[in-house]
Amino acid sequence: MEKFKQILLDINELIVFKHSVFALPFIMTAMIVASSIKNGSMWFGFRLLFLGVICAVSARSFAMAFNRFMDEDIDRPNPRCANRPSVDGRIGRLNLILFILFCALVFIATTYFINDLAFYLSVPILVVLGGYSIFKRFCSIAHLVLGFCLGLAPIAGAIAVTQSIPMWSVLLCFGVMFWTAGFDVLYSLQDMEYDKSAGLFSIPSRYGEDASMFISALFHTIAVIFWLFFCWGAGLGIWAYVGVIISGIILLAEHKIVRKDFSKIDRAFFTLNGYLSFVFFCFIWLDLFL
């Protein structure tokens, strides 16, 4: 029993389950908006709630585990990554492959019970999720690829409820994409020197600190613009726009923290972005409720 518990702890450390907070609120945002438009009610049922959460967790776990598998050679020499379970031997390569396959099968099987479109797109989505691990080795747009991976969350939420891809979900997707890319650029500042020595194509390693701060701010500005277009495209009201403005203020605070003290990057990355996604969802919910 203790060994099984330790395995679960190691897997949790590998995929950092608590960071699901970044994507889940945007999936739920899309689902309540889609349900409101389609059914006149935010509630889409316990069945879709359960299946949606399973899909979100399994897809993210697949992406994180695949990334750890592909990155072992560049994580091992990096002091910041040396204690990861995929590097220090707690989770072997074979077990990691089995976990990746398990997550992929759970995701595909779950989409089968949602609707046909979700099932047909399940494998292409997994291919996109795995693509980030490859892009970072040869192209600086890897930050945007990672952003697009998270941006698929609201599109998936809309598909689950409506079996279609409405334009407002695409606008929300692009907002999430640029939001994620922006904070990933900031997070990559921690590894700027290592990425240079390892020949990785992160924006900080290619363009330096000042340019990275500017590019991150630009990405976040574009994210807020897309979120405003999402509110318009979905026909939302004043409280939704208030939520976007507050989200923009949180992003501004994130940049102030990082500019003032690089040692606070973890706080800006994990805490503030976790708050942002939750605040965003709450204001959309409030708008629909009122």
Q: What letter would DSSP give residue 22?
A: G
* Element holding 207 (H helix, E strand): helix 203-207
Q: Taking 80 as the threshold, does the pLDDT of residue 262 lie above it?
A: no
241 or 136, greater pLDDT: 241
CA proximity to 172, closest of 150, 146, 144: 150
Digit-coded pLDDT (tens) for 192-207: 777 777 677 788 888 8
Q: Are 244 and 172 in contact (CB under 8 A)?
A: no
Separation CA 174–CA 179 (nearest Å) = 8
Say if pTM beats, i.e. exceeds, 0.95: no
**What tokens does 206 get?**
């290619």
Assigned CATH class of 2-289: mainly alpha
Query: How is 47-66 classified by DSSP, letter by letter?
Result: HHHHHHHHHHHHHHHHHHHH
Domain ranges of the chain: 2-289
Q: Are 171 and 233 in contact (CB under 8 A)?
A: yes
Digit-coded pLDDT (tens) for 203-236: 888 888 889 899 999 999 999 999 999 999 999 9
CA proximity to 114, closest of 215, 177, 45: 45
Query: What letter represents residue 112's amino acid?
Result: Y
**What tokens does 289 get?**
């409720």
Digit-coded pLDDT (tens) for 85-136: 766 667 778 888 898 999 999 999 999 999 999 999 999 999 999 888 787 7
Separation CA 178–CA 176 (nearest Å) = 6
